Amino acid sequence: MSSPGFATALRCRECHRESAMEPIYVCDFCFGPLEVAYDYEALRKVVTRESIERGPASIWRYADLLPCDREYAVDIQAGFTPLIKADRLGKELGLNHLYLKNDCANPTWSFKDRVVTVAATKAREFGFTTLACASTGNLANSVSAHAARAGMDVVPYALTDADGRVAGLNRVGLRRAGFPRDHVADIRNAFRILFSVGSPLENRMEQLAGAVQSPPGQRLLQFVKATSKRGLAGRSRRGTG
């Protein structure tokens, strides 16, 4: 695996212990949050305003400042969104040069693309094949777009827990996306079949094929068929209702 730029470790913000750049999200000693530590002396010798300006018109012009290897980049052209001068708001606040960053111009219309392009790249670098998230809409859109770009799997319509296990149906996101009630009910029934216990996956898929009726239910079935050789994400203790 190549070196992830100038990132050297994960450092706990509470106890300041350092951990290797591995897929962990809390400190093993105190359960504090982790942040990326960088070799700033080395960065100063390489990164300049000119080197950044020579980069692509996306977040990847800052590749040396990101904690992932650009060789694995999952790039959907996130970032480099426009600054809009806010004259009236600036006047109200007493500011002559106030600009607003319009991150609605990102590929999936959300600032979440900035986070997910780095997370998806790091997941690919670690050798993961599936992306999952807990979302009410914007994050799920971004994860889906990046997974499609990377050729990775993403569990459709699902909420996940911190361990990547399916915790339930993203009913809020489906409602916001305008899914009809009968489609939501069909997907919910499909989830109950898929993540029931006590029978092999092949049997559940056969039952699912005879149960789903809506187009999104059929898409879920096709997803499971395409990925069943690698298995299915486990069910969270929270259930899948």
Tens-digit pLDDT profile for residues 82-108: 999 999 999 999 999 999 999 999 999
Q: Both tokens of residue 138?
A: 């914007």
Six token digits for residue 96:
């002559």
Q: Which residue has the higher pLDDT, 208 or 3?
A: 208
Q: Which two tokens stand for residue 143?
A: 């994860």
| 178-209 exposure pattern, b = at least 16 Cβ within 10 A, e = fewer | ebeeebbebbbbbbebbbeeeeeeeebbeebe
Q: Which residues pair with 169 in a beta bridge?
A: 158
Query: Is this prediction's pTM over 0.75?
Result: no
Q: Are 107 and 145 in contact (CB under 8 A)?
A: yes
> Distance from first CA to last CA of the chain, Å, rounded?
40
- Reduce the DSSP state of residue 130 to 3 states and report it: strand
Q: Residue 172 — very low, low, confident or very high, per pLDDT cuts 50/70/90?
A: confident
Buried b (16+ CB within 10 A) or exposed e, 47-75: beeeeeeeeeebbbbebbebbbbeebbbb
> Which candidate, 59, 67, 71, 49, places its Cα nearest to that of 2?
71
Q: What is the pLDDT of residue 205?
A: 83
Does the pLDDT of residue 74 top 80, yes or no?
yes
Q: Each residue of 118-159: pLDDT tens digit?
A: 999 999 999 988 887 777 778 888 988 898 888 877 667 777
Degrees, nearest 5: CA angle 177-179-183: 150
The CATH class that applies to domain 155-241 reads mainly alpha
Residue 50 CB partners (closer than 8 Å, separation 6+): none
What pLDDT score does 160 carry?
A: 66
- Residue intervals in the chain for CATH 1.20.1180.10: 155-241
Helices and strands of the chain, counted as H and E runs: 9, 9
Q: How confident is the model at residue 198 (pLDDT cuts 50, 70, 90)?
A: low
List the one residue out of 202, 64, 226 whose CA is nearest residue 129.
226
State percent of the chain over pLDDT 90.
53
